[in-house]
Amino acid sequence: MGKDKLRKFRENLTFACFVQPDFDEVFRQDHPLKGHWHEAFFHNDRPIVLELGCGKGEYTVALAERDPSRNYLGIDIKGARMWRGAKTATERGMKNVGFLRTRIEFINSLFAEGEVAEIWITFPDPQLKTRRAKKRLTSPLFLEYYARMLQPGGLIHLKTDSKHLYAYTNAVIRHFGLPCTVSNDDIYGSGYADEVLSVKTAYESRFLGMGLPITYTCFSLGGQRDFPWFDWEEDEKLEKDNEEVRHTGH
């Protein structure tokens, strides 16, 4: 492991906005912050918004700057990447920003019923292989996680360059009859991108440079809590997505 990465790991632990639970604190048991994020971490009762797979935290920081009436928490397992967002938030003295280093599979050990107001999923790994479909952050497995912690009517936002993940997410929405506010397959080309949607992560800037359209889906769970697994018939047909372009740049 490089010295710079080790330095970032050490510095992360000095940031008041950074939380890094031990494995034993979240594996099959509740973390002490579960149900207590408002009073113990943010020290206010404002709504909590999560960004899942936050990477360097560009979106988390940008959303928090634009909306001080809410608390924003970026979640990822890549500590060296998250360092950038945590350092920026610390240097700017932002009190409504936090970063949580953990696997997203453990979120139900970290958030109580109705503790989360909204979720953003920005450019996650699309998990193109059919055998990895359960790892997609909009799969039925993850929707059950979200249903346990989202407030009634809480929105889920997905921004992605992946045509496959976009189509899959919309298939999941149709399959379960979920309320869908927006499904746009090219937010810049259609002129739909507003100030918030125009915030660009490092990945998004790279994908735009490749000429890939950026999609956006906004939906809620409609009060449903159980999401039985189903096989999507299009999975095999669309397997490669725009994978070659994403990896080679042309």
Catalytic machinery residues:
125
Tokens of 194: 């507003």
Instruction: Give whole-number Cα distances, 76 to 92, 193, 217, in Å.
Output: 21, 25, 21
Provide the 8-state DSSP code for 161: S
What is the largest distance, in Å, between two alpha-carbon atoms of the chain? Answer: 50
**Contact (Cβ atoms closer than 8 angstroms) between residue 23 and residue 109:** no
Q: How far apart are CA 122 and CA 232, in angstroms?
A: 22
Place of tokens 């991108």: 193
Tokens of 186: 């090219």
Tokens of 148: 């346990």
Residue type, 98: G
For residue 108, give the nearest of 172, 31, 221 by alpha carbon.
Answer: 31
DSSP assignment string, 106-140: GGGGT--TT-EEEEEEES-----SGGGGGGSTTSH
